[in-house]
């Protein structure tokens, strides 16, 4: 508490329990802490234990969820959580609202920056006369979809349903998401932060601003800077150093998306057919420890040989994407991975799975920085399609066109990040009724 008194504005940050959300909040916290903000980051012990880097002006605050029979403390995070327990995790978080209220009362922050999945948080803050700013860590487009469904301000200017009929999958399965978003909008301030880029989705940012009736300020990509640890998975970098520029495909589906065995086998055969070198990060749900040899078709690892490198569980994604040998990124199109790819200038091969990922994939194709692997009508993945799209991006002329586009975007991002954060700081300071201090 003594440290915070030296700073101008004290902020409590409260992300949803997905590590991708926490990562974005933490990167925003780092940037704000360099501009005379003192940050409290609130999450479960299971999540906070994964954060290795400690910042002097970012203090971790533990939120203890009730231990439900099917949800022990090590499952108080989406990392490694079986998908069927996601609703249980949401229920446990909702049950912790009184504990969160106690944290708010004890800390008395000047401002709450919150995710949209816990609508009771802005309500608790409002009762204590603490303003709340919603921070959306995903693209603006999916939130436009959610608000378009309930038509909170009439029909939208953009024909969302007709543009994305198959990706419009919120209507039947996620009504509670709409309820949570609406309640958060009602209880929060007139300011909303979004981790996005105007060059990618400016029209959707404007549309969301109109639908939500809030001022939107973009915070940029919020990609973690490369660490100075030269020993970080050096065998991967040494392997990449032997490859030609833009000749290697990086394959990764984030920390919370898992391929079915059938998809895994088709993807493996497709990569083999493409004859393109690749790094593939293989991940499985918590408790399912499987080697590459067990996970892939028999004999495939040997057939791939030096063409491929299989990494189990974790790889330094940003460092890999930043390597000159990387020519493409085969991704599930999680927004965090997209931001890293845009920041490093690597074209994306889209293989979306669920939630906002199909929308993200369409958005990237619309802008011209990605190609998508199309599934068959029955939803199955085909190895020939995988091989075709991989070669298009990494080897053929079409890939060069996409690469030029994403590199142009990278250069524009580099020139705008500081300006974006200056605007964020000015708006937060204004909301708190303070005078802005110069960066330390």
Specify whether 186 is located in the same domain as 298.
Answer: no
Walk across the sheet containing 308-312 and list its strands.
308-312, 277-282, 248-252, 326-331, 348-350, 370-372
Specify whether 251 is located in the same domain as 184.
Answer: no
R_g over Cα of the chain: 22
Residues 195 and 405 sit within 8 Å (Cβ to Cβ): no
Specify whether 281 is located in the same domain as 357.
Answer: yes
Beta bridge partners of 152: 154
**Residue 439 covered by a domain:** no
Distance (Å) of CA 352 to CA 113, 171, 274, 294: 29, 19, 20, 24
> According to the model, what pLDDT value does residue 211 have?
92
> According to the model, what pLDDT value does residue 121 have?
96
Q: Inter-axis angle of helices 140-150 and 357-367, to 10 degrees? A: 120
Specify whether 177 is located in the same domain as 278.
Answer: no
**Residue 196 covered by a domain:** yes
> According to the model, what pLDDT value does residue 216 have?
97
Specify whether 166 is located in the same domain as 23.
Answer: yes
Q: Which helix (H) or strand (E) holds 212?
A: helix 198-212
Specify whether 264 is located in the same domain as 333.
Answer: yes
- Name the domain count of the chain: 2
> According to the model, what pLDDT value does residue 107 have?
97
Note down pLDDT in tens along the chain; length 440 residues.
344 444 589 999 999 999 889 999 999 999 999 999 999 999 999 999 988 777 788 999 999 999 888 898 989 998 878 888 888 999 999 999 999 999 999 999 999 999 999 999 999 999 999 999 999 999 999 898 888 765 544 444 544 554 444 444 444 344 478 889 999 999 999 999 999 999 999 999 999 999 999 999 999 999 988 766 545 568 899 999 999 999 999 999 977 778 888 999 999 999 999 999 999 998 876 666 777 778 788 888 889 888 999 998 788 999 999 999 999 999 999 999 999 999 999 999 999 988 789 989 999 999 999 999 999 989 899 999 999 999 999 999 999 999 999 999 999 888 777 788 999 999 999 999 865 444 43
**Residue 393 covered by a domain:** yes
Angle, CA of 411, 413 and 414, to the nearest 5°: 65
Specify whether 64 is located in the same domain as 10.
Answer: yes
Specify whether 112 is located in the same domain as 240.
Answer: no
Specify whether 42 is located in the same domain as 128.
Answer: yes
> According to the model, what pLDDT value does residue 376 have?
92
Specify whether 44 is located in the same domain as 159.
Answer: yes
**Residue 437 covered by a domain:** no
Specify whether 48 is located in the same domain as 172.
Answer: yes
Q: How far apart are CA 318 and CA 426, in angstroms?
A: 29
**Residue 26 covered by a domain:** yes
Q: What is the CATH number of the domain that holds 20?
A: 3.40.50.2000
Specify whether 400 is located in the same domain as 354.
Answer: yes
Enumerate the active-site residues. 21, 115
For the whole prediction, is pTM greater than 0.75?
Answer: yes
DSSP tag of 295: H
**Residue 229 covered by a domain:** no
> According to the model, what pLDDT value does residue 263 have?
93
3-state secondary structure of 279: strand
**Residue 438 covered by a domain:** no
Residue 266 contacts by C-beta under 8 Å, 6 or more apart in sequence? Answer: 380, 381, 382, 383, 386
Q: Which helix (H) or strand (E) holds 58?
A: strand 58-62
Task: Give me the domain span that covers residue 100.
Answer: 3-224+416-431
**Residue 436 covered by a domain:** no
């Amino acid at each position: 508490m003594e440290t915070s008194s030296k700073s101008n504005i004290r902020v409590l940050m409260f992300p949803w329990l997905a590590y991708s959300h926490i990562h974005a909040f933490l990167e925003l916290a780092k940037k704000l802490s360099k501009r005379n903000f003192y940050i409290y980051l609130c999450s479960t012990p299971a999540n906070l234990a994964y954060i290795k880097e400690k910042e002097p002006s970012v203090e971790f605050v533990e939120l203890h969820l009730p231990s439900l029979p099917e949800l022990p403390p090590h499952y108080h995070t989406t990392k490694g959580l079986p998908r069927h327990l996601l609703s249980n995790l949401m229920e446990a978080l909702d049950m912790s609202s009184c504990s969160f209220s106690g944290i708010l009362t004890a800390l008395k922050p000047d401002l709450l920056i919150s995710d949209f999945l816990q609508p009771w948080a802005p309500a608790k803050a409002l009762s204590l006369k603490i303003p709340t700013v919603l921070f959306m860590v995903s693209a603006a487009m999916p939130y436009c979809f959610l608000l378009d469904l309930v038509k909170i301000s009439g029909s939208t200017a953009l024909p969302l349903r007709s543009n994305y009929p198959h990706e419009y999958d919120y209507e039947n399965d996620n009504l509670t998401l709409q309820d949570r978003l609406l309640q958060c909008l009602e209880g929060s301030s007139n300011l909303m932060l979004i981790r996005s880029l105007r060059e990618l989705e400016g029209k959707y940012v404007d549309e969301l601003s109109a639908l939500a009736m809030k001022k939107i300020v973009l915070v940029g990509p919020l990609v973690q800077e490369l660490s100075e640890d030269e020993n970080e998975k050096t065998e991967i970098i040494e392997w990449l150093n032997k490859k030609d520029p833009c000749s290697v495909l990086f394959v990764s589906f984030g920390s919370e998306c898992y391929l079915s065995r059938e998809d895994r086998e088709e993807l493996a055969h497709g990569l083999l057919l493409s004859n393109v070198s690749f790094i593939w990060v293989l991940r499985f749900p918590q408790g399912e420890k499987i080697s590459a040899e067990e996970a892939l078709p028999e004999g495939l690892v040997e057939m791939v040989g030096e063409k491929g490198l299989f990494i189990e569980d974790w790889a330094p994604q940003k460092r890999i994407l930043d390597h000159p040998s990387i020519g493409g990124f085969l991704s599930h199109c999680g927004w965090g991975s997209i931001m890293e790819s845009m920041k490093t200038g690597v074209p994306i091969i889209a293989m979306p799975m669920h939630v906002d990922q199909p929308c993200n994939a369409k958005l990237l194709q619309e802008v011209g920085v990605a190609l998508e692997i199309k599934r068959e009508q029955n939803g199955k993945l085909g190895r020939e399609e995988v091989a075709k799209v991989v070669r298009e991006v990494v080897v053929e002329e079409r890939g060069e066109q996409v690469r030029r586009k994403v590199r142009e975007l990278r250069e524009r991002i580099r020139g705008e990040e500081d300006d974006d954060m200056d605007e964020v700081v000015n708006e937060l300071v204004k909301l708190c009724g303070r005078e802005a201090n110069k960066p330390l």
